[in-house]
Amino acid sequence: MTLQIENLTKDYVMGELVVSALNGVSIDIKQGQFIVILGPSGSGKTTLLNVIGGIDRPTAGKIFFDRNGKKIDLTALNEKKLTAYRRLNVGFIFQFYNLVASLTAFENVELAAKLTNPAAEARYLTSELLEEVGLGDKSNKFPAQLSGGEQQRVAIARALAKKPRILLADEPTGNIDSETTGKVLKLLQKVNENHKVTILLVTHNVGISTLADTVVYLRDGKIFGTSQYDPAKEKEFWEQLTVTPPIDIT
Ligand SMILES: Nc1ncnc2c1ncn2[C@@H]1O[C@H](COP(=O)(O)OP(=O)(O)O)[C@@H](O)[C@H]1O
Ligand SMILES: [Mg+2]
């Protein structure tokens, strides 16, 4: 799986006002990468993820998605095909978890697993994933009975349940304390390794970017730099995480 993003733009038109959320973004994404997109609030991070995930469409530009040697341009797909792309390939993790309140942790994950797996397999996969995220003993709890960190772990299991090639995480630790943030980020690193799934995580938190193998810096809808993984920085991040909250650049 690779994604080639070429010169994406996204304009929101509101009456006479045009907000340019993306302004010529190009990135190459390879299978298994852990990419962090770092930028202040309003820089276009959510818009970029939504366009890559097929939730939204760009105004211009191309997104070539290559899976098993078959290359398709997402921007040329009709609604039905774009939905199929999203359903089969993309897992989403949101800041506010977006779990179904009336379903247990197990049922939330199972619902997603059933999208791409026969019922018996979906049940088995759901148990396995809940074990993997450390919630095997809480699978019958409802979201309201779980902490924020636990709900986010259910959401990670749910995102993995359809065996996606890409995980898109929009400020996944934006709503939890720094210690729990550490646990959720460690889990995402493990998931990236175990499932060979590509992760694109957007954040305005500088500290989190140290986990990435590539950091893409976004400002005013434009990429103004990229940097590569630095083990020393990551070590420092884990050391700081339990002492002080990581630095914010908003
Ligand atoms: N649906 C929308 N309608 C109008 N403007 C929008 C919409 N979504 C986002 N924007 C604007 O586009 C810019 C980028 O937003 P967004 O992608 O949400 O940034 P970020 O996630 O980095 O905070 C902002 O100026 C925001 O106000
Ligand atoms: Mg956002």
Residue 248 counted as domain residue: no
Residue 246 counted as domain residue: no
Least confident range of 27-31, 105-109, 158-162, 242-246:
242-246
Residue 93 belongs to domain with CATH number:
3.40.50.300
Angle at CA of residue 186, ends 101 and 217, nearest 5°: 95
> For ligand 1, atom 24, which residue shows the shortest CA distance?
42
Return mean pLDDT, the chain: 94
Residue 113 counted as domain residue: yes
47 lines ligand 1 (CB under 6 A): yes
95 C-alpha vs ligand 1 centroid, how far in Å? Answer: 16
Residue 249 counted as domain residue: no
pTM of the model: 0.93
Token pair recorded at residue 2 = 């690779």
Residue 31 counted as domain residue: yes
Q: Which atom of ligand 1 is nearest the CA belonging to 49? A: 17
Give pLDDT tens digits for 56-79.
999 999 999 998 889 999 999 999
Domain that holds residue 145: 2-241
**Confidence band of 7 (pLDDT split at 50, 70, 90):** very high
Residue 139 counted as domain residue: yes
12 lines ligand 1 (CB under 6 A): yes
148 C-alpha vs ligand 2 centroid, how far in Å? Answer: 19
What pLDDT does 67 receive? 85
Q: Which atom of ligand 1 is nearest the CA belonging to 204? A: 22
* Distance (Å, whole) CA 63 – CA 7: 9
* Distance (Å, whole) CA 210 – CA 109: 29
Q: How many domains does the chain have?
A: 1
